[in-house]
């Protein structure tokens, strides 16, 4: 059944005097009046269309609503064919079953095959599941030139080691200025066999564990990102701050998953494990895997900054030594 969401801000009377408060949330004189005598939970459910807890929602639901409206259809939807033994990419083709979505324009090589642009580097934020269909393994692909998410793969039926093979093939295909894409994944649980396969395949452009709570932030020789409650909170908090600002996410289903992250009474941030939409990947339960993958992608993207091109100068630079010397010589000749 197709569900239609009609937010109060679409009503011409209720939206009269519409403005954004300090947090970027949509408000109006009508909305302010409604909030006076209502419980925060009732405001969340009946005004903000948020049934995950209203005031307990972790992400700003007004921002999520805006991003859902701004979401884009993928430019390409298909499959990467690769050698299962060497994990070398063979080529891209439209269709397939793994739902590799790309929001980018791709040039062609000398043989006419589509390929990602080579004038930039790419980041893969990865969240791994057990591959039983209960949740998704997800790759979120970030572009270091545009600081934008340009790709998404969600797969519910590949084991962690199989998924590692696909990720490595995809990383080689997304070859940039510095080589293959850089990988970061949650190293616990299913991330253990995933990391073992990555290491066995000899892929080294990966994130290595850091002492994130120390000033030195020394890097270890342990690949992958290890989640603690505090680090997860920091990871999601930074992603929440950047989402829709520094980091652009065109995937509607990924943005919608943010709605299900709530504060529990213990103070932990968890996905509500509620599933109110049909997930086309075949996962039987939606656990917010895209959100973790996107947040990890943004974590590494922050190491890159977009450097604007310097403005082109009109004519020669009059401050150069050669021009000053020629000017003095011209003056001396004219004097004589």
The runs of H, that is alpha helices, within the chain are 29-35, 40-46, 61-70, 160-173, 191-200, 229-242, 252-257, 289-301, 321-335
Kindly state whether residues 21 and 88 are assigned to the same domain: no
Please give the backbone phi and psi of residue 90, each rounded to the nearest 5 degrees, phi first.
Answer: -100, -45
pLDDT at site 327: 59
CB atoms within 10 A of CB 62: 19
Q: What percent of the chain has pLDDT over 90?
A: 54
**pTM for this prediction:** 0.73
Q: How many domains does the chain have?
A: 2
pLDDT at site 3: 81
pLDDT mean across residues, the chain:
84
pLDDT, average across residues 115-124 = 96
pLDDT at site 215: 60
CATH number of domain containing 221: 3.30.420.240
327: in domain: no
pLDDT (tens digit, 9 = 90+) per residue, 303-329? 886 555 556 555 555 555 555 666 555
Range in 232-246, 294-308, 320-334 with the lowest mean pLDDT:
320-334
The answer to whether 202 and 184 are in contact (CB under 8 A) is no
- Rounded CA-CA distance 73/84 in Å is 30
Kindly state whether residues 41 and 108 are assigned to the same domain: no
* 68 — pLDDT class (breaks 50, 70, 90): very high
Gyration radius from the chain CA atoms? 25
pLDDT at site 285: 47
pLDDT (tens digit, 9 = 90+) per residue, 15-61? 999 999 887 889 999 999 998 876 565 677 678 876 555 447 888 88
Q: The domain containing residue 41 runs over which residues?
A: 14-47
pLDDT at site 276: 43
5: in domain: no
């Amino acid at each position: 059944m197709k569900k239609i969401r009609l937010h109060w801000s679409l009503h011409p009377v209720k939206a009269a005097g519409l403005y954004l408060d300090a947090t970027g949330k949509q408000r109006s004189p009508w909305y302010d009046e409604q909030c006076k005598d209502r419980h925060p939970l009732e405001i969340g459910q009946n005004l903000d269309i948020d049934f995950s807890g209203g005031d307990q929602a972790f992400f700003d639901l007004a921002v999520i609503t805006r991003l859902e409206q701004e979401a884009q259809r993928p430019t390409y939807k298909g499959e990467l064919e690769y050698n299962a033994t060497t994990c070398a990419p063979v080529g891209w083709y439209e269709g397939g079953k793994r739902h590799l979505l790309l929001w980018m324009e791709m040039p062609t090589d000398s043989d006419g095959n589509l390929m990602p642009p080579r004038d930039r580097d790419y980041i893969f934020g990865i969240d791994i599941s057990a591959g039983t269909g209960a949740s998704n393994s997800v790759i979120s692909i970030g572009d270091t030139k545009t600081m934008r998410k340009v790709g998404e793969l969600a797969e519910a039926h590949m084991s962690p080691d199989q998924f590692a093979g696909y990720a490595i093939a995809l990383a080689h295909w997304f070859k940039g200025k510095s080589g293959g894409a850089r990988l970061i994944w949650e190293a616990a649980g299913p991330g253990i066999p995933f990391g073992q396969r990555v290491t066995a395949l000899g892929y080294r452009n990966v994130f290595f564990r850091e002492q994130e709570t120390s000033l030195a932030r020394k890097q270890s020789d342990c690949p992958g990102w290890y989640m603690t409650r505090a680090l997860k909170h920091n990871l999601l908090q930074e992603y929440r701050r950047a989402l829709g600002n520094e980091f652009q996410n065109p995937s509607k289903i990924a943005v919608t998953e943010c709605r299900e992250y709530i504060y529990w009474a213990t103070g932990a941030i968890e996905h509500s494990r509620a599933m109110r939409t049909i997930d086309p990947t075949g996962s039987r339960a939606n656990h917010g895997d895209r959100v973790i993958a996107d947040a990890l992608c943004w974590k590494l993207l922050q190491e890159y900054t977009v450097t604007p091109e310097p403005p082109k100068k009109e004519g020669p630079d009059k401050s150069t030594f050669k021009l000053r010397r020629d000017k003095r010589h011209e003056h001396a000749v004219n004097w004589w």
